[in-house]
Amino acid sequence: MTMNLRTILYLILILLPSIVHSQVKISGKVTDSDNNPIEFATVRVVGTAIGQTTGLNGTYRLNVATKDTIEIAFSCIGFKESKQKLIDAKGEVVLNVRLFKTTKELEEVQVTEYKKQTGGMQAIDTEAIRKTPNLSGNGVEAIITTMAGVSSKNEMSSQYSVRGGSYDENSVYINGIEVYRPQLVSSGQQEGLSIINSSLVKSVEFSTGGFSSEYGDKMSSVLDITYKHPEAFEGNVALSMMGADVAIGHNSGKFSQLHGIRYKRNTSILSSLDEKGEYAPSFFDYQTNLRYSITPKFDISFLGNISMNNYKFTPATRSTSFGTSQNVKEFTVYFDGKEQDRFETYFGALEMNYKPNKSTKYTLLASGFLTNELVSYDISGEYWLDEAGTNDGDNSIGGEIGVGKYLEHARNRFKAGVMTMVLKGNTSLNHHNLNYGLEYRYQNIYDRSSEWELRDSAGYSIPNIDNRIEMIYNLTSKQDLSTNKISWYVQDTYRLMSNIGMFSLNGGIRFSYWDFNKEFLVSPRISVGFVPEFNSNLAMRLAAGLYYQSPFYKEFRETKVDANNNSYIELNRDIKSQRSFQVIFGTDYTFRAMNRPFKITAEAYYKNLSNLIPYELDNLKLVYSGRNESKGYIAGIDFKFFGQFVPGTDSWISFSLMKTQETLNGVKVPRPTDQRYSLGLFFSDYFPKFPKLKFNLRGILSDGFPMTPPQVTRDINYFRAPSYKRVDIGFQYQLLGGDNDRIRHHFWKNFKSIWIGVDVFNLLDIANVNSYYWVTDVNSIQYAVPNYLTGRQFNISLSVAF
């Protein structure tokens, strides 16, 4: 027995080196055609059960028994499979592979597969953003409003509501930096240009809920924009009847620069409104995105923006007909005075990135945002409210309902500065991807406002109190505020392959402290994605989390009334962040029909809301109570059918159902952005006999929001505005460019493409309502006169890319 044991030990010592060296360690990185890492790619040894998926940085590592020939297959949805053979491989082998997107030529049309969504963010086709016809010129927001769960009731504005949330509950990031919108904008006429320049956009990701901890303290949505870095000298010039857009970029290797200039003057659009007069809007925007690679591991970048939006309006007359076919009323006003508004924003962000190795990256970011806003108007009007004609059999009865005058005055100045310092990092460990960050934010507010309205009806001042002249409305504010906020987060994304399918798990937690109200917040968030092995066309996701809406300045402005019936603003230092506990379940199913890819998406959600700060909606202006005094819930379901209805062109249709409820002063009422149903459509087509002629359609049908009279809350009285219905179409013809273009000599070879386009906005000429002007007679009877939006408009455009 002893001899046998010695023999065994001796054999082990002889064979041990060969056993140790009988395995080959294979590692590498999987990238796409642009050298970007591909996550979730499958790497497997052909003929064995050995395999794994790549991490977020595209890396993998395998241990394989030594063979004469080892064949490894690399695959990912949307990419062609690649197989690589290793002949007589030993020791450690580095094998980097590049995958190319799946393409199939079908009558000169490129067909691609669609990526599955296992997390909270969905990618939006940037080509659709450039194609969509939109009145505001804000392509990103225009395409977002066709998404399920998103609504906008004003085609002149870039603001939107997501799943019953307010306009202030949406985070917007550009290159990972949170950006802000002006605070005093109250109508689409004033707003001008969005901060997002569509011509500079490389990629767009959007979440309607269930987003991860790296994103800040907003309750409803995240819009994450990444600007592109040009590969060489390139540019684009777009001209239209509404303005101009120029984008120029250059890359010299280590240094890349991208510049964008936009100018908009939509006088013709505003002339279609009921209020006639002299419109003189002028909107200008300049943005730049610079990057310098100091070393392969260290680079520095700068993002800058200067925006100057001026709105001047001298009203003359207004004539509005409203009511029913059996009871038509006519509201006529003659104006005197003018409005002059100015919105200036300045934004700059310096970012330094350091990548010590392929699995770790650190970012140090410093940004500053300044806004200088002025709203100034003195407008008087004399109005007549008449019965335009009431049908009574064969007779038509008309008459005067009321005559009155009013005088509106405002001198509102608002300045704000937000300075931010951020340190964040990313580390990949096997199948784990860790994200972590620390942020400090300083806010400075300067608010000086004074506005009032005097109204007279039939010789009586309203309100009529003891023969005194009283303002029907007045408000003053004089506030200076400086606050500090610190926040930090950590999250992990883990991917696991199992016998039943692929799991993607994201869990994180976010902390914040604000010195204004001494509030400390803890926000845990988690999401799970699953692609079953039995059907890889199916993807499911479940997300839950506690989200907070950290109040910005106007949310904690509380209106007080003194003994002389004068209203003034006082800041509520006891304000708390609004809270939303969310649960979301969604599923995607991809399939092919007519040899083209399609995808169906469904998502159900529930939000339990507490510590709400009630507000009422007046056009784009949100009037907050300034107090945490209500609670409620939001529940709904969203559907989206996405695919290539016509080969080579992406289209989709979305449908949403939603119910909101808020308990306000003990009364259960819908939230101000309660939208019970909505239907969105984006359709892109081409003409087979004229393949260079493109057609794009954008349509929206959505329920109207609840409305209230001025200084009245929904628990006292509200009614619902008419549904919003709009169809915009655009035709584009490619004069130059395309794969089969033969005009490639002399001067024209410097151009990528030239397009000419014709847009028809509000094709059906529907009179949509976004707010109301309220007429009150001496008997305190109120009449809601609708403020209609734009009518049918035409636009001609020219786009040149080089």
pLDDT digits (tens, 9 = 90+) for 605-630: 999 999 999 999 887 788 899 999 99
User: If residue 307 lies in a helix (H) or strand (E), which one and from where to where?
Assistant: strand 298-324
Q: Beta strand pairing status for 630-646 and 596-612?
A: antiparallel
At 739 the pLDDT is 55
Burial class (CB in 10 A: 0-12, 13-18, 19+), 568: middle
- Confidence band, pLDDT 50/70/90 cuts, at residue 462: low
HEC string of 615-646 equals EEEECCEEEECCCCCEEEEEEEEEEEEEEEEE
Which pLDDT score is estimated for 525? 96
What is the gyration radius of the CA atoms in the chain, in angstroms? 30
| Position with higher pLDDT, 649 vs 552 | 552
Q: What is the mean pLDDT of the chain?
A: 86
Query: Under a CB-based contact definition with an 8 Å cutoff, are residues 768 and 728 in contact?
Result: no
Q: What is the pLDDT of residue 406?
A: 85
CB 119 within 8 A of CB 212: yes
pLDDT at 635 over 50: yes
For residue 136, give the nearest of 676, 651, 726, 640 by alpha carbon: 726
Of 34-43, 105-114, 597-606, the range with the lowest mean pLDDT is 105-114
* Torsion 55-60-65-69 (CA) sign: positive
Query: Locate tokens 């200008």: which residue?
Result: 284
pLDDT in tens, 405-430: 889 999 999 999 999 999 999 998 88
Measured at the CA of 378, the angle between CA 376 and CA 381, to 5 degrees, comes to 140
Query: Which of the residue ranges 32-41, 330-339, 501-510, 618-627 would you say has the lowest mean pLDDT?
Result: 32-41
Helix and strand element counts for the chain (H, E): 5, 48
Local structure of residue 110 (DSSP, 8 states): B
Q: Does the pLDDT value for residue 87 go beyond 70?
A: yes
**Distance separating alpha carbons of residues 131 and 135, to the nearest angstrom:** 13
- Prediction pTM value: 0.82
Asked if the peptide bond before residue 463 counts as cis, ω within 30 degrees of 0, the response is yes
**544-595 tens-digit pLDDT:** 999 999 898 989 999 998 888 889 999 999 999 999 999 999 999 988 887 7
Length of the chain, in residues: 802
Q: How far apart are CA 31 and CA 96, in angstroms?
A: 8
Which stretch, 21-35, 390-404, 553-567, has highest mean pLDDT?
553-567
Mean pLDDT computed over 446-454: 92
Mean pLDDT of 687-705: 88
403 or 220: whose pLDDT is higher? 220
In this predicted structure, the answer to whether residue 21 has a pLDDT above a threshold of 60 is no
For 781-792, the pLDDT digits (tens) are 778 889 898 899
Residue 316 to residue 618: CA distance in whole angstroms: 23
Q: How would residue 104 be classed by pLDDT, with cut points 50, 70 and 90?
A: very low
pLDDT greater than 60 at residue 108? no
Strand pairing class (677-687; 690-702)? antiparallel
Tell me the mean pLDDT in the region 244-255.
Answer: 91
Average pLDDT, integer, range 655-677: 95
Share of the chain above pLDDT 90, in %: 48
State how beta strands 92-94 and 23-31 pair: parallel
> 180-203: per-residue pLDDT in tens?
887 877 777 777 788 899 999 999
Burial status of residue 244 (CB atoms within 10 A of its CB: 0-12, 13-18, 19 or more): middle
Determine the 3-state secondary structure of 160 from DSSP: coil
Provide the pLDDT for residue 776: 67
In percent, the amount of the chain with pLDDT more than 70 equals 89
**Tens-digit pLDDT profile for residues 483-508:** 999 999 999 999 888 889 889 999 99
- Sign of dihedral through CA atoms 230, 233, 239, 245? positive
Higher-confidence residue of 106 and 69: namely 69
The pLDDT-based confidence of 771 (bands split at 50, 70, 90) is: confident
**pLDDT confidence of residue 495:** 87
pLDDT(16) > 70: no
Instruction: State residue 744's pLDDT score.
Output: 53
Residue given tokens 């009511």 in the structure block? 323
* pLDDT of 17: 46
706-750 pLDDT, tens digit each: 999 888 899 999 999 999 999 999 999 988 876 545 455 566 777
